[in-house]
Amino acid sequence: MPDPEDVSRFEELIVPEMAFLARIARTMSRSQAEADDLAQETLVKAFRAMDSFDGSYPRAWLARIARNTAINRDQRNREFLLAEEGTVEPPPSPGEVTDPEEIVLSQEVDPLLQKALDELPAAFRVLVQMVDVEDMSYQEAADALGIPIGTVMSRLHRGRNRLREALKDTALAKGGQP
C-alpha cells in the first residue's frame, strides 16, 4: 500500500508537471508512442522514489529521471537489435512524422522552425526545449541532465546559433517580415 504522504506529495509536486514531462519525453523520443511510454515509466519511477525526493526543482528531477530512463531504454533497444536475427525495420528518422495526432499538432508550429529543431543534435534540442520552451533555469537544466552549467550554456549557444543559421533566410528569422 502506498504511503499516503508520498501520494499527497506526488499529487502536489509532480502531477502539475505532467504536461512538461510529456513535452520533454517527446523531445527525447522518436515517436509519440515512445514518448508516452517514456513519460509513463518516468512517472512510475518518480512515484516509487517520492520518499527520497527533497521537493525542490520537480521539473529538473523529472527531466533527470526521464533522461536516465531514455538512456536505459535506448541501451536495451540496441542490445535487442544486435541480438535479433534477420532484418529489423529501422526506427523512423527524428524528423519523420508518423502519428496522426502528431501530424495535426505539428501544423500548429511553423514547419520551418520545427524542421530546424528536429535537425538539431539531441543534446542541443533537449536543452533548447528545456530552457527556451519550458523556461527552466540553466541550473535546473544542468541538474536534470547531470552536466555542468557551463556545458548547458555552451550547448544552448551552439544550438541557438544552429537554429539562427537554419532559419536565416526565412521570414521567421526576420521577425515575420517578408
Task: Judge: domain 109-178, CATH 3.30.750.210.
Answer: no
pLDDT tens column, 114-169: 788 888 888 898 888 888 888 889 998 888 888 999 999 999 999 999 988 888 87
Among 105, 83, 96, which Cα is nearest to 31's? 96
Q: What is the DSSP string of 5-26?
A: HHHHHIIIIIGGGHHHHHHHHH
Instruction: For residues 163 and 134, give the distance between their C-alpha atoms in angstroms, rounded to a whole number.
Output: 17
pTM above 0.75, yes or no: no
Q: How confident is the model at residue 103 (pLDDT cuts 50, 70, 90)?
A: low
Look at residue 178 in the predicted model and tell me its pLDDT. 47
| Domain residue ranges of the chain, discontinuous segments joined by + | 1-93, 109-178
| Fold type of domain 1-93 | Rna Polymerase Sigma Factor; Chain: A (1.10.1740)
